[in-house]
Amino acid sequence: MKTFDYRGFDFDGRVRKGLLEALDVKDAREKLARTGILADRILAAGDHAANTQFSKKSGFSLDQRSVVYRELGTLLRAGLPMVRALEVLIDSPEMGEGRGLLARTRDDIKEGVSLAEALGKASKSVTVMEQALIAVGERSGTLGDALDRLATYLEEQQVVKDRVRTALMYPAIVVAVALVVAVGVFVFVLPQTGKVLAGMRIEVPAITRLMIWVGRVLAIGIVPIVAILTLLVLRARRRIGTEPASRMEFDRKCLLIPVLGRGTMILANLRFSRTLSILLHGGVPLVEGLQLAGRATGNTWIEHLSMAAAESVKHGGSLSDAVRSIQPLSETLPGWIQAGEASGNLEGLLLNASDRYQRQWMRFVSRSLGLLEPIVILCLGIFVLLVALAVLLPIISANEILK
């Protein structure tokens, strides 16, 4: 039996959609027909191509994964079999569009596939690190605890993302409004002011002429400029997405950008130390955990360096020396690791280091945004001053002439 995601109409013409278990598409249509539903579309549940028709999402979101791991771990620790636990989650209303992906996961598990592999097949958003930790939990018989730790980790990642988005919301709105106002002033207000002054035969001040010229340039070139910039950005994104060397070089240069590079480096240390601590606690071998932790940073250059560091550990090198060879992680993290190796509590020291980087990251965000807001306000103030001078100086000249 397989699970199918269907959409159809009942006898009253109302849209019906949901999940249905059947042998094949034909059997699914027959079952729906017997319940009075004329099937319009029947697709395999959780299929990525199918999801584009039913939903804009092609996998579990970060929030959905944390909920699935948390509730699935709770159900497994309560003694429910895997298939039954997944069925409980499928019937849960809060799963929303993820119900089809869970149904596909359940079907794969019924066929003998492991949970880690089934989740990876159902959703591309399930990372290799998550699959590794789940696989270790399955092998060691501690899957419930592994899922619970994984849920906690994802919730912490979501908190970091939410704080950054919330903090950037105010500057983004201010900049967007400023751009709209600037276009209106340059393209509409100042040109009309120039025409009025020319009709009154009043000499236009230099600052007003400059602002009018900027407005004309924007009016003529704004569309080509935006189009060219858009094409360049799309081309760069495509190149970065398809060429690993370009992506690695881009990630490397991002770490060199003032302020932004510092924040990226702190975040990479946070993700690396937190991930490696969780993986070691879950029983993942050190070499494999080092590779997965490098991948969890989200930086392909660090991931590449982590692969080389893993080879060093594999051939007998210490973890602290290997991490010291990873330049973005070489500032303070090797010291924590060295202390953990010396004390025999590597996992605990990594967890303490990740907590420290967490606090450092939040301070960085607060300070950076605290600096960003006055800069934005200062730029807006300068813009308002220039516009005011461009408009008021001709008015003052006109008043003097009239006197």
Inside any domain, residue 50: no
Of 322, 349, 352, 325, nearest to 337 (Cα)? Answer: 349
Average pLDDT on 175-196 reads 76
Residue 47's pLDDT band, with cuts at 50, 70 and 90, is: low
- Looking at the fold, whether 172 and 146 belong to one and the same domain comes out as no
**pLDDT (tens digit, 9 = 90+) per residue, 187-200?**
777 777 777 767 76
pLDDT at 184 over 70: yes
Average pLDDT on 2-15 reads 70
Inside any domain, residue 71: yes
pLDDT at 126 over 70: yes
Both structure tokens of 335: 């010291």
pLDDT at 264 over 50: yes
CA distances from 304 to 65, 296, 341 (A): 27, 12, 24
Question: Torsions phi, psi of 56, nearest 5?
Answer: -75, -15
- Domain boundary residue, one of 123, 155, 187: 155
In this structure, are residues 299 and 264 in contact, taking their beta carbons and an 8 Å threshold?
yes
**pLDDT (tens digit, 9 = 90+) per residue, 333-389?**
999 999 998 888 898 899 899 889 888 888 887 788 778 778 878 888 888 888 778
pLDDT at 10 over 60: yes
- Looking at the fold, whether 139 and 166 belong to one and the same domain comes out as no
CA distances from 335 to 313, 320, 325, 343 (A): 17, 7, 13, 12
- Looking at the fold, whether 202 and 272 belong to one and the same domain comes out as yes
Task: Order the strands of the 38-44 sheet from edge to edge.
Answer: 15-22, 2-9, 38-44
**pLDDT (tens digit, 9 = 90+) per residue, 298-325?**
888 998 999 999 999 998 889 999 999 9
CA distances from 255 to 41, 259, 260, 271, 273 (A): 48, 9, 7, 15, 18
How far is 243 from 197, CA to CA, in rounded Å? 56
**pLDDT (tens digit, 9 = 90+) per residue, 31-44?**
777 777 777 677 67
- Looking at the fold, whether 171 and 254 belong to one and the same domain comes out as yes
- Looking at the fold, whether 310 and 337 belong to one and the same domain comes out as yes
- Looking at the fold, whether 341 and 293 belong to one and the same domain comes out as yes
Residue 16's domain spans which residues?
Answer: 2-44
CA distances from 195 to 37, 66, 146, 315, 390 (A): 68, 61, 72, 78, 13
Residue 165's pLDDT band, with cuts at 50, 70 and 90, is: confident
Average pLDDT on 247-265 reads 87
Amino acid at residue number 320: S
- Looking at the fold, whether 134 and 29 belong to one and the same domain comes out as no
Average pLDDT on 5-27 reads 70
- Looking at the fold, whether 121 and 234 belong to one and the same domain comes out as no
Query: Exposed/middle/buried for 12, CB within 10 Å: 0-12, 13-18, 19+?
Result: exposed
CATH of the domain at 77: 1.20.81.30
Which three-class secondary structure state does DSSP give residue 258? coil
Amino acid at residue number 129: M
- Looking at the fold, whether 355 and 245 belong to one and the same domain comes out as yes
How far is 296 from 300, CA to CA, in rounded Å? 10
DSSP code, position 203: P
- Looking at the fold, whether 301 and 186 belong to one and the same domain comes out as yes
Inside any domain, residue 51: no
In this structure, are residues 350 and 273 in contact, taking their beta carbons and an 8 Å threshold?
yes
Number of domains in the chain: 3
What per-residue confidence (pLDDT) applies to 18?
A: 66
- pTM (two decimals): 0.68
Amino acid at residue number 73: G
- Looking at the fold, whether 138 and 78 belong to one and the same domain comes out as yes
Which run of H or of E encompasses 42?
A: strand 38-44
Amino acid at residue number 182: A
How far is 225 from 373, CA to CA, in rounded Å? 27
DSSP code, position 316: T
What per-residue confidence (pLDDT) applies to 309?
A: 92
- Looking at the fold, whether 137 and 180 belong to one and the same domain comes out as no
Q: What is the mean pLDDT of the chain?
A: 80
